[in-house]
Amino acid sequence: MDKIILKNLQFYGYHGLLPEENKLGQRFQVDVDLYADLKKPGETDAMSDSIHYGHAYEVIQQIVEGEPYNLIEAVAEKIANELLRSFTLLSACRIKVIKPDPPIPGHYHSVAVEIYRERSI
């Protein structure tokens, strides 16, 4: 399946279980794969035949920088649902939400969740 890839999107949000996460906020990174048939836009060179990744970015930004959620699982689910609702050409999406600096002790690169959702027929 063809896909449009949005990688390493950077946002600042207030998601987390701990009160300081909701008050102080933290960085979030998001990777998204948008699965759609890209043959027609490849042939027509018309934006109306594809998914505008600038608009997809705005949808993701509004969610990550908007209402706080306790879990990044909920953030990922909200992004997937909103993208599938907003773009009729989208058949499925993979969403990865990354917390580079979660407030946990130890040495690590980051923590993340990744989900895959398909359009229900």
Q: 103-115: per-residue pLDDT in tens?
A: 888 888 899 999 9
For residue 116, pLDDT over 80 is answered with: yes
Rounded Cα–Cα distance for residues 67 and 69 (Å): 7
Q: What's the CATH code, domain 3-118? A: 3.30.1130.10
Contact 101, 26 (CB under 8 A): yes
Dihedral sign, Cα of residue 119, residue 113, residue 30, residue 26: positive
Residue 26 pLDDT: 95
Query: In the annotation, is 99 catalytic?
Result: yes
Q: Of 3, 23, 78, 99, which one is the catalytic site residue?
A: 99
Token pair, residue 106, equals 């130890």
Using one digit for the tens of pLDDT, what is the confidence trace for 62-88?
Answer: 999 999 999 999 999 999 999 999 999
Residue 121 has pLDDT above 80, yes or no: no
The pLDDT of residue 120 is: 85
